[in-house]
């Protein structure tokens, strides 16, 4: 995947919004005001930061060279996934969706009801 494909995929998720809260070089995607993905627009080795279940985060780091603890986020809950390494596009989309769903599952029940993840 490239950063444009990541952007297109994120914007297809229900109520996903993009913003630049950390400056013009870092694109952030949020759902219900909560961040589920961040990516630098200027890195030579493009990558995305995604939220992840802590146990799954460790397993992914062991399985893929593309996955490392997120540089600027809580390393227990966030992974960086490098887009041009050994993780295929299908799995990258899967972990983006996992991040999105993780954020939704932490929202109050009244808000979660708008989604399939109650």
Q: What is the DSSP string of 22-69?
A: T-TTEEEEEETTEEEEEEESS-SS-EEEEE--HHHHHHHHHH-TTEEE
In the predicted structure, residue 118 carries a pLDDT above the cut 60 = no
Question: Can you tell me whether residue 7 is helix, strand or coil?
Answer: helix
pLDDT in tens, 17-73: 999 999 999 999 999 999 999 999 989 999 999 999 989 888 899 999 999 999 888
Q: What share of the chain in percent tops pLDDT 70?
A: 98
The pLDDT score that the predictor gives to residue 75 is 81
Q: How far apart are CA 34 and CA 37, in angstroms?
A: 9
SS3 15: coil
Angle at 16 between CA 13 and CA 21, to 5 degrees: 145
**Phi and psi at residue 88, to the nearest 5°:** -75, 165
Average pLDDT, the chain: 93
Q: Quote the DSSP letter at residue 17.
A: E
3-state secondary structure of 19: strand
**Domain edges within the chain:** 3-112
Identify the band that residue 77 occupies on the pLDDT scale cut at 50, 70 and 90. confident
Q: How confident is the model at residue 5 (pLDDT cuts 50, 70, 90)?
A: very high
Instruction: Name the residue with tokens 């890195």.
Output: 43
Instruction: State the fold for domain 3-112.
Output: 3.90.1150
pLDDT in the model for residue 117: 58
Residue 88 pLDDT > 90: yes
**Residue-level pLDDT at 73:** 82
């Amino acid at each position: 995947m490239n950063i444009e494909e990541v952007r297109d995929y994120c914007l297809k998720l229900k109520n996903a919004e993009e913003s630049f809260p950390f400056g013009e070089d870092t694109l952030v995607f949020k759902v219900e005001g909560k961040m589920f993905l961040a990516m630098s627009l200027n890195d030579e080795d493009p990558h995305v930061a995604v939220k992840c279940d802590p146990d799954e985060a460790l397993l992914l780091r062991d399985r893929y060279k593309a996955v490392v603890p997120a540089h600027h986020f809580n390393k227990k809950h966030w992974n960086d996934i490098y887009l041009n390494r050994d993780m295929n596009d299908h799995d990258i989309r899967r972990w983006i969706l996992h991040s999105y769903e993780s954020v939704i599952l932490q929202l109050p029940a009244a808000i979660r009801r708008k989604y399939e993840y109650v």
